[in-house]
Structure 1
């Protein structure tokens, strides 16, 4: 089934147990899709999938493990009966100055935020091609467009995800596969909350974050999910290689 002809009905979402990934899965299901959730957190994944119902399949998968990703993708596509859309939402933060960033943390940030999307995209490509085309949406960040202090590893990986998708969009275009990125700003997810909850003054830190945004607020994951579903669907059939900022205006404010 080509997404050029109809809305995507068969989704694979990495990082699907919480945050933006879970919101994407929930919205896709509400619009009639079937969805496979990939996540390394088995307990949270099972809880989220149970809440979503029988149209969602949870698969425990470490997106940094090439063999595990290939096996999970093949399992997912068999269960779905094909693949129309891949959404890469798995990610980790790294909040510290470069000189305090150890080799292991740098490597882990690159592995999850950059190698992970590469592995899932590589595993999904044959299945999207077999479906006659489809969509890949990589969740980058506003930090991939406009940097933040004390986040060299995070900003570097999120900027790389954008360029990775642009390059892949050229390769994939002849097969009718579109590749785009969504760049969220401050979104109320466990990952975002971890960036200020341990500060000496959490409320003050949160207010400082809000002031970076023209809209002056933190968004809900569902607001990003709407953008992802748009880019995944037929309404975006002529959009590929783009990076859509869903960031309340931070990247220009």
Structure 2
């Protein structure tokens, strides 16, 4: 692994969506920075791969299944000796017009992106309350800040909900627990398949790499951001500022 400053030395972190994309990149970076990890995902095969790289505790779990999440979090917390931070990176993107996306699909997107984040935080909270400098980082989207892309209504609503959920958590859990949102633009992951060219309104003119988002998540999880809570950090190549 790369040489780092071990900014997460002795920190115990739960990461969801860790089998691929931003979650996987975050797990890899956090391990390099000295964190002990508990990783959750529905993709058991992907979890085993990242577990070998990071020596993490891994659990196959759907974030919409409160029982499975609670059991996984308890086992992870026991193995690590507690929980200092949470990163909610599990999510789905659904493309389709309002008339094209039925209510069943709508509910599924909100269940995974919004309710799933709530369930994970709720299950981790007893341990977070016992930790010093505890942190929550939820993954929003550029669509949380500027929902102007067509055929993203369900996704935009879910990620807008994540943004305000995080702000509400920041208010409720302060001063002992900080909660912030990272809002990526398009990232070069499987979720962006078919839309990679839609970066004409990005000032930097390209997709992000997952590692670039992971570095922002690292900042909000480390003591370097000790006076930041309730913030929405746009990591979107300039998509939302103009």
Band the TM-score falls in, shorter-chain normalisation: over 0.9
State the TM-score, normalized to the length of structure 1: 0.89
- Cα distance in 2 for partners of 1:48, 1:11 equals 15
**Matched residues in 2 for 1:108 and 1:231: separation?**
28
Alpha-carbon distance between aligned partners in 2 of 1:228 and 1:21, rounded to the nearest angstrom: 10
- How far apart are 1:6 and its partner, in Å? 7.3
Unaligned residue ranges in structure 1 (runs of 5+): 197-204
Q: Which has the higher helix share?
A: 1
Which structure 1 residue ranges, 4+ long, deviate > 4 Å from structure 2?
5-8
1:240 is aligned to 2:238: no
Higher relative contact order (CA 8 A, sep 6+): 1
Q: Secondary structure at 1:99's aligned position in 2?
A: coil
Q: Distance in 1 between matches of 2:8 and 2:30?
A: 14
**Is it true that 1:10 corresponds to 2:12 in the alignment?**
yes
TM score, norm. by length of structure 2: 0.93
Question: Which runs of 5 or more structure 2 residues have no equivalent in the other structure?
Answer: 1-6
What corresponds to 1:231 in structure 2? 220
Q: Distance in 2 between matches of 1:120 and 1:95?
A: 25
Map of 1:116 onto structure 2:
116
Note the aligned Cα RMSD (angstroms). Answer: 1.5
Shift, 1:47, TM fit? 2.2
CA distance in 1, matches of 2:142, 2:10: 26
Whether 2:103 is the aligned partner of 1:103: answer: yes
**Number of aligned residues:** 235
Alpha-carbon distance in 1 for matches of 2:129, 2:46? 32
The change in CA–CA distance for 1:6 and 1:30 in structure 2 (over 3 A counts) is closer
| 1:202 paired residue number | none
Q: Describe the SS at the equivalent of 1:62.
A: coil
